Structure 1
Amino acid sequence: MTPAVAGADDVALPTPLGDQFYAAPANIGDYANGDVVASRRMPNPPGFMNIETWQLKFRSTDMYERPIAAVTTLLLPVNRSANAPLLSFQDIVNALGLECAPSRTLFTQTNSLTARQGPALNGLLAQGWVIAVPDHLGPRSAYGAAQLGGRITLDGIKAGKNFRLANISRSPVGLIGYSGGGMATAWAAALAPTYAPGLRLAGSAYGGAPMNLIKMAEGLGYNNPHPAFGLAYAAAVGLSREYPDEIPMWDNLTDLGRSMYLQMQNACTNEILKIGQDHSADEMTPDVKIFDDPVVRAVVQANGLDTYPGTPNSPVFEWHSPTDELIPVESILTTNNKYCRAGVRVSSLLTPAPNHVAAYPLGIPGAIQWLGERFAGVPAPSTC
């Protein structure tokens, strides 16, 4: 893979994968969004049965409107019918390394909640659902660049529909994801009317989704040390990868900030948390904090759905903890209310979970049932 593009801050882009399947061809710009550039049959991931596994390389577009190559992993039940339901599953990928992407971790069962969801996903596959798992952080593993995740998710769905062997060109489409995966899912739903107007979604289910990255970062060590500061810092690194012209991050770091930046270059979630544990933004920059720069602040704000002017044109199922320690709940409620006012059918589930992690499994059964009803054509309920 070619890790950099013109103008990119390449100080700490991820180390390229040796697997040339991920490389963008020289003529990537000749393809349309969602066109399949290459495909390959893969062995089935550990724990998955009675399926065929394919990986698709497809064309998408980065936030400077330049063509990029992205990858999705397609799980095809052998007993599927033509145009079976297609579920795009956005994994929780809080990472900066390319080896942390689902197309890699699905086959290693490391650093991936996708692998730990094997039984649940197998249940859906046994029903004949097709499951697509996109590498929604893109070829630069731009964690935090939430709009990009939405674009790649939508283009990955289109690629699956364009893959003739799958026979899902007219399949109803649903999306699901939690936390970072929920962020990509929520953005895909909001962007669909404008970025992929020809793609019709049956519905999107997401939980624990960050709706305002500035407020999230401010709660994770912006002013004081925090155990989960690594997530906020990794998101800043990822945003600098995707918006290098607006966020020349390397030039404005302390020695400690640069050291941590480089340590995180290829890190997955656990390592990111360890590197950033009990640090703060004050230690990363010598004088001015990152959000004090109006250009940087505008970019980060543009990746928050609570202020994004667009709304989904399909129903939404959303769930969260009332006391989420990582995600600002008020921004979730603001976004839900905005969608309700716009006429979106929103079903919001307030779980009894005491924290972010515990809310994940509590919402999955309801989300799956809700998606099944959308696939069956049942009108969507609303808690608006």
Structure 2
Amino acid sequence: MKKSLLVLGGAALLGFTAITPPASAQTLPSNDGRSSSPSLDNPGITATITDPIYRTPYPRNTPPGRLVAVEKADWKLIYPFVAEYPSFVWWQDTYKIAFTTEDSLGKPVIGTALLTQPYRAKGAKYLAAGNKIWVNAQYINGLSLRCTPSQTYKLWMGDGATSPQVIEGLLAAEGASNLAPKARSLSVLTPDLLGVNMAYGVNIASGRLILDAMRALQHAPSMGYDDPDFVVQGFSGGAMASAAAATLMPTYAPSLLKRTKAIFMGGTPMDMISISAKYRKNKNEAFVQKGNEQIGMGLAVAIGLSRQYPALHDYLYRHLTPHGREVVHDFNSMCLSEMVDYVKANQLAMNEIVDRNLLDDAVLDSYLRKESVKYISGMPTVFPGQHLYLYHGNGDVDVPVKDVWDQYYKWLHHGVNVSMTMVPSRDHISAQPVSIGPLISEAVLELYRPRTDTSRPLVNTVINNAVI
């Protein structure tokens, strides 16, 4: 497949094998420039990915939230099932984009995202439907770039459905079929939340990356946008990053305040300390139990955090066993489901990987707290035209619902326009956006209301006898 990468501000259309940085560009090192054991670092990070978008150089003196490179993706590659879902024919343009952003420490880095657009008439300056963007904050469980949406081309919003299919289906199911044409006019922006460094669990950086992906399209006439409106939707890890984005927006990206109409957050892990604490009740058993699936999740988060924080990186490396270094090296190229299978297949116990129990570790806890939404400094906007939606499954035993209610009341106390509802679910993963169809419909309506109507509160909606 032939690829091309347009580096904005330059004159060349570059091939996919290499990038010649412009004179004003700097190449930023991986892992904060530290030199440490390759057993813990992701070896090369992009070494097995030939796509140049991930190696886009960061232009000097460029603030975060600027579009710097665009790569047109192959339509046939992305939607091989178009015959099965004929409505996809209106999703004709798909791009990978690169933009400037910051990590949790405020260091400049490149972020990437997948952007799908509706049809734009030949010669038209802007998209046929106008400036409406649905931000799909897809949760990404893994340590390898191949787990990201821009590599997998998956725009999942739950149970095997893609973003446009879910949006249109929800609207029709709720008796709002007249909104289906509006749903078809939405662009869908899917950020690679973990960054090119795949810093799993680093929510401040992920929140900034979401905001900068949005800002990169705020003034991008070459892509067909001019000051667009946004709706953000995230579930689980994507909701955690979306909650971080909502918290950081007023100070980090205030230009988005009046343009972000709604932020949906489902099954949100507000406090990673709280989640890890539940496994400490049987910490000794979990530490020595072979094949325990929590080993994969716990170790993945520890590695992900270490990619952002050099001191944690060095601390973890000191406590890895020789066999543990081999395991971590293998984990670097895996997605989470593969890690869990790896642990089960090899009947690994945590004490075979590290020489101390990471389920009860004060050093790791300090980084979990630093990156948890509950403790991130800031408060979402009280701008009346923006609404935050929290929802949580009543069968979710993995993410403590108390943490979500606590965050809801904290935001409510500070005047944030926020709502919370419980939805039926078998477990954590089944409380997907399909549970909040009326709210999705209302958010799409909000996108298409005149901008002069920013002070009007959203209509109360009843779901499962709960007034939102």
Question: TM-score under structure 1 normalisation?
Answer: 0.89
Q: What does 1:221-300 align with in structure 2 at a 5 Å threshold? A: 223=283, 224-225=285-286, 226-248=292-314, 249-277=316-344, 281=350, 283-287=352-356, 289=358, 292-294=361-363, 296-300=364-368
Q: What does 1:296-335 align with in structure 2 at a 5 Å threshold? A: 296-313=364-381, 314-335=386-407
Which residue does 2:56 correspond to in 1? 24
Which residue does 1:147 correspond to in 2? 204
Counterpart residue identity of residue 267, structure 1? M
Counterpart residue identity of residue 173, structure 1? F
1:166-198, CA deviations, whole angstroms, 9 ceiling, x for partnerless residues? 332222111001111111111111110111122
CA shift in 2, pair 1:367/1:231, >3 Å: farther
Tell me how far apart the structure 1 counterparts of residues 62 and 224 of structure 2 sit (CA, whole Å). Answer: 21
Tell me how far apart the structure 1 counterparts of residues 402 and 438 of structure 2 sit (CA, whole Å). Answer: 22
Tell me how far apart the structure 2 counterparts of residues 333 and 273 of structure 1 sit (CA, whole Å). Answer: 30
Comparing 253-262 with 68-77, greater Cα deviation is found at 253-262
Question: Is 1:116 the counterpart of 2:161 in the alignment?
Answer: yes
Q: 2:133 aligns with which of 48, 65, 86?
A: 86
Comparing 280-289 with 352-361, greater Cα deviation is found at 280-289
Which residue does 1:50 correspond to in 2? 90
Which residue does 1:13 correspond to in 2? 42
Comparing 244-253 with 258-267, greater Cα deviation is found at 244-253
Q: 1:135 aligns with which of 184, 187, 192?
A: 192
Tell me how far apart the structure 1 counterparts of residues 159 and 395 of structure 2 sit (CA, whole Å). Answer: 25
Q: Which runs of 5+ in 1 are unaligned?
A: none
Tell me how far apart the structure 2 counterparts of residues 368 and 111 of structure 1 sit (CA, whole Å). Answer: 16
- Note if contact 1:56-1:159 (Cα within 8 Å) is conserved in structure 2: no
Tell me how far apart the structure 1 counterparts of residues 325 and 96 of structure 2 sit (CA, whole Å). Answer: 35
Which residue does 2:215 correspond to in 1? 158
CA shift in 2, pair 1:308/1:381, >3 Å: farther
Q: State how many pairs are aligned.
A: 380
Which residue does 2:175 correspond to in 1? none
- Note if contact 2:158-2:432 (Cα within 8 Å) is conserved in structure 1: no
CA shift in 2, pair 1:113/1:275, >3 Å: farther
Which residue does 1:35 correspond to in 2? 66
Deviation at 1:290, TM superposition (A): 6.6
Q: Secondary structure at the match of 1:198?
A: helix
1:29-82, CA deviations, whole angstroms, 9 ceiling, x for partnerless residues? 432111111112212221442231122111111122211111111111116446
Tell me how far apart the structure 2 counterparts of residues 379 and 42 of structure 1 sit (CA, whole Å). Answer: 39
- Note if contact 1:92-1:113 (Cα within 8 Å) is conserved in structure 2: no
Counterpart residue identity of residue 378, structure 2? G
Counterpart residue identity of residue 55, structure 2? A
Tell me how far apart the structure 2 counterparts of residues 203 and 8 of structure 1 sit (CA, whole Å). Answer: 42
Deviation at 1:269, TM superposition (A): 2.7
Tell me how far apart the structure 2 counterparts of residues 152 and 343 of structure 1 sit (CA, whole Å). Answer: 26
Q: Secondary structure at the match of 1:270?
A: helix
Tell me how far apart the structure 2 counterparts of residues 7 and 72 of structure 1 sit (CA, whole Å). Answer: 26
| Residue identity (%) | 24
Deviation at 1:252, TM superposition (A): 1.6
- Note if contact 1:63-1:243 (Cα within 8 Å) is conserved in structure 2: no
Q: Which runs of 5+ in 2 are unaligned?
A: 1-26, 83-87, 121-126, 170-179, 287-291, 461-466
Tell me how far apart the structure 2 counterparts of residues 141 and 41 of structure 1 sit (CA, whole Å). Answer: 23
Question: TM-score under structure 2 normalisation?
Answer: 0.74
Deviation at 1:110, TM superposition (A): 10
Counterpart residue identity of residue 277, structure 2? E
Tell me how far apart the structure 2 counterparts of residues 166 and 227 of structure 1 sit (CA, whole Å). Answer: 43
CA shift in 2, pair 1:210/1:257, >3 Å: farther
Tell me how far apart the structure 2 counterparts of residues 68 and 5 of structure 1 sit (CA, whole Å). Answer: 10
Q: Larger radius of gyration, structure 1 or 2? A: 2
Q: Secondary structure at the match of 1:347?
A: strand
CA RMSD of aligned residues (A): 2.8
Counterpart residue identity of residue 50, structure 2? G
Which residue does 1:347 correspond to in 2? 419
Q: Secondary structure at the match of 2:98?
A: strand
Q: Secondary structure at the match of 2:411?
A: helix
Q: Secondary structure at the match of 1:30?
A: coil
- Note if contact 1:349-1:363 (Cα within 8 Å) is conserved in structure 2: no
Q: Secondary structure at the match of 1:139?
A: coil
- Note if contact 1:93-1:100 (Cα within 8 Å) is conserved in structure 2: yes
- Note if contact 1:205-1:317 (Cα within 8 Å) is conserved in structure 2: yes
- Note if contact 1:60-1:151 (Cα within 8 Å) is conserved in structure 2: yes
Comparing 371-380 with 66-75, greater Cα deviation is found at 371-380
